[in-house]
Every structure is written in structure tokens, then in C-alpha cells.
Chain A
Amino acid sequence: MKRITSISFLLFFIYTSEAKTLLVGKQQAVKSVQQAIAIAVNGDTVLVEAGNYHEKNLVINKTIFLIGLNHPVLDGDHQYEIISIKANAVIVDGFKIIHSGVSSIEDFAGIKIYNCRDVVIRNNILEDTFFGIYTQHGLNCTIEKNTLIAYSKQEQQSGNGIHCWKGDSMRIIANSISGHRDGIYFEFVTNSVIWRNTSFGNMRYGLHFMFSNNDAYITNIFKSNGAGVAVMFSNNVKMFHNYFEENWGDGSYGLLLKEISDSYIENNQFGKNTTGILMEGASRIQMEKNSFLNNGWAMKIQASCMDVTVRKNIFIANTFDVGTNGSLVLNNFNGNYWDKYEGYDLNKNKIGDIPYRPVSLYSMIVEKNPPAMLLFRSFITALMDKTEKILPGITPENLKDEHPMMKKLF
């Protein structure tokens, strides 16, 4: 009740006395949400009491605040899109939205925002929906503190958790997404922020990010997703303080960067991935203070990358530190800490006196000829690596860290 009073109080100030509050419930005059929306006018609040509501498709075409008390359940009976928002500044708060329709032709969602702005979707629980929260042409919308759980079994028959197609100034904050195809999907979304979300156990990507410029994602956790996180065909992306963990398996990685430019990757942690970061066609990327722990490959930088600066990162207990597929290297490694570094520091400035070469000959062999993995840790490969370190012939000559740190910085 406290919440209602406070919200009412708030609304009182924002909208003038003409705004009214409609109460929906089994014991109330208005029995269904459908009915309430029909009655309501712009600026009204619809409060829904706890209970099960089979409302088919709720279309919100007025600026109303739809608020659930103790998570009333909106059930789509596996047939309908549950809430369709077609008006600006709508708020949907506190519902439990379950069983949306599944279709291969239409993208049914738990909540879908059609071409509108300033919509807020928060504190909802979405369970067993095809797409979770879907926005198209959204502007300045907030999707906050929602929990999305799906039980997909096949990639083709599942939708994404939070799906944004074309939009600007979106805020995706503190959501938890699991079991979808992609946890968070961004395509043609600009100037937006993804912050404090947890995306785990999704079929494909924890975050799927394409053609979206000038965005930032910060302090998210991406864990145990089918293929990790993919950031593609974008520029000016900022990735700070994220965790990319336990993305294991065939062709999976913590973070895939494909055709990315002018971006920043800082203070992230990559742990226990088959590949920590895979970069293809990335250019002008700053990578700083990330930690790479227990990965198969900490980093794979394909020869198509240029001007990638890797500095002050730490690399610990990775099977291979850096892999690459060509001999031309236009990237810069400097001042990182490598636990495999065997050099010395005579002048005690905490910087190793001889450069470290993070690419081993064997990692290149495996890159070209995957079955060679079976010889991993054998005497011959160790011997080859040692010889190659002394007399580099095959590994890229200029892929090296001139000033490796003796101690890790953080």
C-alpha cells in the first residue's frame, strides 16, 4: 500500500488532478486489464491486483501506467503476444508475464514496444516467453530490473531475451536473462547503455550486438552462454568492467569482436573460456587492464586486425596467451603481465628487460591444424616453442611485448 500511495503521490505532482487511478481485480468493478485500458485515458494509472489474467493480446495505445501489485500473472496461453505498447511514456511495472505465443513468422514477445519513446519496463518477471522484451524503433526507453527466463531447447525455436531493433538512447539495466537464444540483442541501436545485467545459459550469445554505434556496456556478467558475446560491425563501443566467463566448447569465446573500430575494452575479466577474445577485422581498439584467467586462448587476433593496443592487461594460467593466423602484425602489445614470461629484470624497474613473445609456434600449428592439439604439452612441442623463442622464424617477429611487467599490477 505504501508503494501505491507513493506512486499516487508522485503522479499527483506530475499530472494534474485529471489523472485517475483504475483498480483491476477479481473483486473490483473492473475485472480485466483489457477493460481497464479501454476505459483509461492518457495519464491514467491502472493498478492490477494479484491473480491470473488471460488477456490475450493487450494493446496499450494510450500513455498509461500499468502497474502490477504482487506480480499479477498475465498468461498468453502459448498463443498471443502478451503486451503490445504503441504509445509513448508507458510504464509497465511489476507483472509476471508467462506463456507467449511461439511463431516462426511473427516475433511474438512478452512485451513489445512499437515505435515509441520514453517507455519504462521494470520489475517484471517473464517466464517461458518466445521473445522477452522486444523493442523496435524505441527511443529513450528504460528496461530495468526484469527477470527473463526461457526454456529453449533449439536455437531456431527460441527468441531473444531483450531484443532491440533500431533505437536510440536505450537503457538496459540490471536485468537477468537466461535460457533464450540471445540474452540481449542489439541491432541498429545507438547511444545506449547496457549496465549491470546478468546474462547466462543462453543458447547462442549472452549479448549479440550488431550495427550499433556509440554504445556502452558496463559491469555485466556473461556466463556459460553457447557462444559467449558477439560484438560486430559497430564502432565507438565501450566495454568496461564486464565478466565473460565459462564459455566452453566448439567455436565459443568470451567475446567476439568482428569489424569493430574505435572502441575501448577496459577492466573486464575473461575467465575459463575456450577463447577469451577473438578479434577479426578490429581496428583502433584500446584494451587496458583486463584480466585473462584460465582460458584456452586468452586472445586470438586475426591478421585482419590493426591498431589494436593491448596494454596493462594480465594473463594468468591460460593455455595459450595469444593466437594469430598471419605473420603481419599491426597491433601493439605493451606493459602487460604474462605469467609465462621467463625474462629477468636487472635494473629493478619492474619491467622485464627482454621482450615477451606471447604467440607460441605450437599455437600457430594448432590454429592451422587442429588435430595437432593432441600433441599438446608433449616434449616435441615444448622443444619447438623453445627454439622458436630463441630464433623466431614462423611466429610473427614483431608480435611481442617490449616491456612486460614482472609483477601483476592488480
Chain B
Amino acid sequence: MTDILRNRIILLYTVVLFIASFSMFSLEDNTSKGLLSLLNIILIIVPLVSIIFSTIYTYNSSEFIELLVSQPLKRKTIWLSSFSGLAASLSLAFFIGAGIPIMVYQWNSIGFMMIAMGILLSIIFVAIAMLAVVKTRDKAKGIGVAILLWLYFSLLFDGLVLFLLFQFADYPLEKPMIGATAFNPVDLGRIMILLQMDVSAMMGYTGAIFKDFFGTYTGVIFSFGVMLLWVLVPLWFSTRKFNRKDL
């Protein structure tokens, strides 16, 4: 844990986030544009850094994990503490780097939602990274898988959704679309933030339907629940796999 915190990359990440967020708020003449750029950071950069850093870090500490396994410790404990160390330090980095500027400039529900989603996405992608690591033995291949996963969640999934939308354009797709978002935490995070931001556009014809769902109390609970599942399910699988893994 202290090791991860002292890690130069994490420090760099924090500082870059911090500078980027502050400059975005102060350079843009209207805060909504600053928020928009920040949204891109949360949805693209945060998952990328989270997944790549966690993957590389876990690979690099594999020998140390081996050593720990030879100690009288449950494997589950080792794996979960390694997860919580990564998750905590990446969330902290995000919170200091982006959270503080957001709180300074946007002390409202948008800001709150952004911070919450940023932290959740950080944790989710740590969990996904660790699953990728435990499934692939080779480091280069593992990092490749991590990058592919990131690409999938931030780009390919949406492309697929768009493709399907056009294939089935004749059917009412609003409801299935809500279901589809549950399969991508990035989308879910984006919608949660957008609902706080672009009210007018989201309230257009379909927007109304989504708003009716995601905007309600149950919708928010649902989204947070699904995102939590996105942490727990990969974590559970990776722990199970790690328990049986040969080191």
C-alpha cells in the first residue's frame, strides 16, 4: 500500500490529473466546457490508467506475491489486500487529482456525481485488470489484454451498440438499451453524470425515457448496484482463479 502510494507513476498521475482539472476549469470561459473535458478524462483516462497500472503493477509484484504465498497467509487475503491497495491508491490519486478541483469549482450534484463515478470506475478497472492478470501468465500478453479490455469498454462496446441500434432500428429499443448499458460500466458512469449535466438534451424524446429510469431513485440505486457488481464479479472470479493458480 505505501509502496503503491510512493510509486512515481501514481504521483505523476495525481499531479497530471490535478493540473489538467484545474487548468480545464480556469482556461475555459464557461465551466460547462471545462466539465466536458473533465468528463472525457473520467471516462477515458481514468479507466486506462487504472487498468494499465494495475496490470503492470500486479505483474511486477508477482514474485513478491509468490513469497507471500509461501508465508502462512490465505491466498484470498493476499489477493484481496493487493486489490484493496491498488484500488485505494488509485481512488485516492483520482480524488486528490481531480476531486479537489471539482469540489473547488463545482460544488454541486454534477461535481459529486463526477467524483463518485471517477472513483467507482477506478476501482472497477482495478478489478478487471486483476482478472486479466490472473488469466494470462505472460506479462506482455496480459498488458495487451488489458489494453484491449479498455478499448472494448470505452469504444468497441459502444460501436457494437450503435451497430445493433441500426440493425434493429424498426423495434422500440429504449428498454433494451437501458439493459445494454448495464454491461458497460463506462456507459453507466457516463449516463449518471450526463443526467446531472445535459438536462435539456437528455430530456428530448428518448431522453425522457432514460431520465424516467436513471433519473429516479431506483435508477440511481440500480446503477450504483450494477457498478458495484462490476467490482465484485471480476474480483470474485479472479480470487477464485488465484486460489487455484500455480505460481
A301→B205 CA distance, assembly (Å): 17
For the complex, is A295 an interface residue (Cβ under 8 Å from B)? yes
Q: Total contacts A to B, CB within 8 angstroms?
A: 101
Query: Which of A68-76, A108-116, A173-181, A375-383 lines the interface with chain B?
Result: A375-383
Q: Which residues of A contact B210 (CB under 8 A)?
A: 373-374
For the complex, is A220 an interface residue (Cβ under 8 Å from B)? no
Q: Is the CB of A369 within 8 A of B190?
A: no
Q: Which residues of A contact B191 (CB under 8 A)?
A: 374
Q: Is the CB of B203 within 8 A of A274?
A: yes
Q: Is the CB of A371 within 8 A of B165?
A: yes
User: Which residue from chain A places its CB closest to the CB of B29 in the assembled complex?
Assistant: A339
User: Which residue from chain B places its CB closest to the CB of A375 in the assembled complex?
Assistant: B158
Q: Which residues of B contact A381 (CB under 8 A)?
A: 158
Q: Given A295-B200, A378-B187, do A369 and B159 touch, yes or no (CB 8 Å)?
A: no
For the complex, is B225 an interface residue (Cβ under 8 Å from A)? no
Q: Which residues of A contact B (CB under 8 A)?
A: 248-251, 272-275, 294-297, 316-317, 319-320, 339, 365, 368-383
Q: Is the CB of A272 within 8 A of B200?
A: yes
Q: Which of B32, B174, B198 has the most CB of A within 10 A?
A: B198
From A294, A316, A370, A382, B200 is in contact (CB under 8 Å) with A294
Q: Which residues of A contact B159 (CB under 8 A)?
A: 380
Contacting A at CB under 8 A, from B126-168, are 154-155, 158-159, 161-162, 165-166
Q: Is the CB of B154 within 8 A of A374?
A: no
A373→B181 CA distance, assembly (Å): 12
Q: Is the CB of A377 within 8 A of B39?
A: yes
SS of B interface (majority): helix
Q: Is the CB of A376 within 8 A of B206?
A: no
Q: Interface size class for chain B?
A: 35 or more
Q: Given A317-B32, A372-B162, do A250 and B174 touch, yes or no (CB 8 Å)?
A: no
Q: Given A248-B200, A369-B169, A371-B173, do A380 and B208 touch, yes or no (CB 8 Å)?
A: no
For the complex, is B12 an interface residue (Cβ under 8 Å from A)? no
Pick the 5 closest A-B CB pairs, nearest first.
A319-B201, A296-B201, A370-B206, A380-B158, A296-B200
From A273, A317, A373, A379, B154 is in contact (CB under 8 Å) with A379
From A274, A368, A371, A382, B40 is in contact (CB under 8 Å) with A382
Q: Is the CB of A379 within 8 A of B173?
A: no
List 22 contacting pairs A-B, 8 Å CB cutoff, sorted by A. Answer: A248-B203, A250-B204, A272-B200, A274-B203, A294-B200, A295-B200, A296-B200, A317-B33, A319-B198, A319-B201, A339-B30, A339-B33, A370-B206, A371-B174, A373-B202, A373-B210, A374-B178, A374-B191, A375-B161, A376-B202, A377-B36, A378-B190
Q: Which residues of A contact B169 (CB under 8 A)?
A: 368-369
For the complex, is B177 an interface residue (Cβ under 8 Å from A)? yes
Q: Which residues of A contact B186 (CB under 8 A)?
A: 378
Q: Is the CB of A374 within 8 A of B187?
A: yes
Q: Given A295-B200, A379-B158, A380-B158, do A373 and B207 touch, yes or no (CB 8 Å)?
A: yes
From B43, B162, B190, B204, A274 is in contact (CB under 8 Å) with B204
What is the 8 Å Cβ interface bit string for chain B, positions 169-185, against chain A (1 contact, 0 not)?
Answer: 10001100110010000
Beyond the given A368-B169, A377-B198, please list 16 additional residue pairs across the A-B interface where CB-CB is below 8 A.
A249-B208, A295-B200, A296-B207, A319-B201, A369-B169, A371-B177, A374-B210, A375-B161, A376-B190, A376-B194, A376-B201, A377-B190, A379-B154, A380-B155, A380-B159, A381-B158
Q: Given A369-B165, A376-B194, do A273 and B208 touch, yes or no (CB 8 Å)?
A: no
From B32, B155, B165, A379 is in contact (CB under 8 Å) with B155
Q: Which residues of A contact B228 (CB under 8 A)?
A: none
Contacting A at CB under 8 A, from B25-46, are 30, 32-33, 36, 39-40, 43-44
User: Which residue from chain B places its CB closest to the CB of A317 in the assembled complex?
Assistant: B32
Q: Which residues of B contact A275 (CB under 8 A)?
A: 204
A156 shortest CB reach to chain B, Å: 22
Q: Which residues of A contact B205 (CB under 8 A)?
A: 250-251, 370
User: Which residue from chain A places its CB closest to the CB of B184 in the assembled complex?
Assistant: A378
A369→B163 CA distance, assembly (Å): 11
A254 shortest CB reach to chain B, Å: 11
A216→B104 CA distance, assembly (Å): 47
